[in-house]
Amino acid sequence: MGMTCHRLGNYKLALKCYRLAFYILHIYQNNKTHENYSRIYTNIGRIYLEYGQVNDALKFCSKARDIYFSNKDNTFFPILIYINLGLIECKLKNYYESLDYFGKAWEYLFNENLHYHLFYRILYNYIGFVYFKLGQIQIAIKYYLKSLSLFNNIKNHSDLAVIYQNIGSIYEQEKKTYPIALKFYKRALEVVPNNKHPNYIFYKSMIVTLEKKLKRKMSI
């Protein structure tokens, strides 16, 4: 339920669900290095990252990583842990550390032949964003377009929103091609799960701002 609430943008309820899961696990699972603790810490860390509370996100994701590697009987791969840590380092402007974590996530995806996995599709976007922040725009757009191409068979997946937004940002900020940027922002808005999602409000604001910028440009 926590993951569903997270996807729908209800971060507050998602956090409550994860905390409840942690409480239940604490009662019934005495082994504090059990992999389920790692899963819950990972999910809580991601919620804090959504809230912009980077230090809290780092604390929980680091705990998740430590628990994972202290347990030899894990039934899942630490891909999301590495992705979250990569996003956190990117937020902290530690771009090469971010790429290092994404590289570790990529190794698991590649070595375990998980090319069908959602993380495989969206990871290209995250790597592209780091290159965008490093000012390497051509490399960034290459990764964005690769990520976009991997969603060909799931046209309305909510993860497409951030890819569309990132491509739109390049057209707006770097190429100054506002009509194309606006087109991508509107596509991002279309795939957000609901109009109460924080990203819906964010993308709507970007569209309104860019439309005003276009009007001013046309009136000159």
- The 10s digit of each residue's pLDDT in 5-14 is 787 777 889 8
Query: Are 109 and 122 members of one domain?
Result: no
Query: Are 26 and 91 members of one domain?
Result: yes
- Arithmetic mean of pLDDT over the chain: 92
User: 114 pLDDT band (50/70/90 cuts)?
Assistant: confident
Q: What residue numbers bound the domain in which 1 lies?
A: 1-114
Q: CA torsion, points 137, 189, 83, 130, in degrees to nearest 10?
A: 10
Domains contained in the chain, number:
2
pLDDT, average across residues 41-50: 94
Query: Are 100 and 46 members of one domain?
Result: yes
Of the candidate ranges 40-44, 48-52, 129-133, 212-216, the one whose mean pLDDT is the lowest: 212-216
Query: Are 167 and 60 members of one domain?
Result: no
CB atoms within 10 A of CB 155: 8
Q: What are phi and psi of 197, to 5 degrees?
A: -65, 135
CATH at residue 189:
1.25.40.10
Please tell me the distance from the alpha carbon of residue 114 to that of residue 150, in angstroms, as a whole number.
13
Pull the structure tokens for residue 216: 């001013």
pLDDT, average across residues 117-134: 95
Query: Are 133 and 177 members of one domain?
Result: yes
Query: Are 107 and 151 members of one domain?
Result: no
> What are the counts of helices (DSSP H) followed by strands (DSSP E) for the chain?
11, 0
Query: Are 29 and 74 members of one domain?
Result: yes
Last residue of some domain: 96, 114, 132? 114
Query: Are 107 and 50 members of one domain?
Result: yes
Please tell me the distance from the alpha carbon of residue 62 to that of residue 17, in angstroms, as a whole number.
20
